[in-house]
Amino acid sequence: MVRSTVLALAVLIWNAAAHAAVVVDAAFVRQAIERGALIWDVRAKQDYRKGHIPGAVSIGEAASELRDPNSEDFIAQSDIEEILGSAGIDPAKEVVVYGWRGSTTPHFARYTLRYFGAQQVRVFHDGFESWRDAGGASSVDEVTRPAVKLALKPAPEQAISTRDVVARLGRNDVQIVDARTPREFSGEDIRAIRGGHIPGAINIPYEHNWRDPLAQQKFAQRQVDNSSGMSLKESADLKKLYAALDPAKETVVMCQSGVRAAQTASVLQDLGFRNIKVYDSSWLGYAAKLDAPADSEVFLNVGQMNQRLRELARRVEDLEAQLRQQGKPASCANC
């Protein structure tokens, strides 16, 4: 009797932990499908059409569809309501988001839904590759769900503005995690009007959440034949990675425009961090506020950039001339 009671209690505890988890596995996805959860595939449309989890909906590559290509901020809320509503994606429902293994886009999609009030949204980080490896079925059918009329209400506690970040500088109860590359952090790689980092920020590139931080590079260069290195580290290793941080403090997570930061935010929530805010504008927004203090500050050399663009344009012209001489159309270098 005692043994059965202990086992039952253990099952309840395990179920509660699984229910609370942000990052889930293929077994969880199967169970979510059985209970009617919405499955959202955030990959590009061409990838979705080649094969997806049966029943999954798509709006295309979510980070592109829901953000302005110039500012990299959210598009108008009314447009987001239309896009999500037309696809039947309701933040009030249980949602599981997936893409390719290791991709930041599913985490960004989760952040988006959380920002607009979702309470039950999880990320299948290992994505479609893991689904297939686990024997999951694949479908090429375009899924159409009933449209929903959305009136989204932002949840300000999920995000933080540039003004608020500046106001928090130097506070002992706030910690800032910069998920960009070390070269971006140091100002060597400038992707905004200036390079550098927010004073006091701790640089932990989001790829360090993976079992192999170089996995994407190795896979692209065919040094490995699969993307398994982009799976997340075990919980104990992730705790070591973020050991310098205090889970009880307000934790601001940032990158260049908020997408990479969203993956780190998911990881930190699963590690028990209590007050996580994604700095959506991130370095693009902070760098543009020229009176905001920055360490390792380096301004973009516009003259040098223009010179490089002119050199690139000349190379393109030379290549087109060579192709014309060979009798090939300029758009067909490999014909």
Nearest CA-CA partner of 263 in 291, 297, 238: 238
Quickly tell me which residue has 């108008």 as its tokens: 76
DSSP 8-state symbol, 247: T
Burial class (CB in 10 A: 0-12, 13-18, 19+), 25: middle
Q: What is the DSSP letter of 280?
A: S
For the chain, 335 residues long, give each residue's pLDDT as a single digit of tens: 445 544 344 334 334 444 479 999 999 999 999 999 999 999 999 999 999 999 999 999 999 999 999 889 999 999 999 999 999 999 999 999 999 999 999 999 999 999 999 999 999 999 999 999 999 999 999 999 999 999 999 998 999 999 999 999 999 999 999 999 999 999 999 999 999 999 999 999 999 999 999 999 999 999 999 999 999 999 999 999 999 999 999 999 999 999 999 999 999 999 999 999 999 999 999 999 999 999 999 998 666 666 777 777 878 887 777 777 776 555 444 44
pTM value is 0.85
**Pairing mode of beta strands 194-197, 202-203:** unpaired
Q: Which residues pair with 277 in a beta bridge?
A: 252
CA distances from 41 to 27, 56, 201, 207, 242 (A): 17, 6, 33, 22, 29
* Residue 116, strand partner residues: none
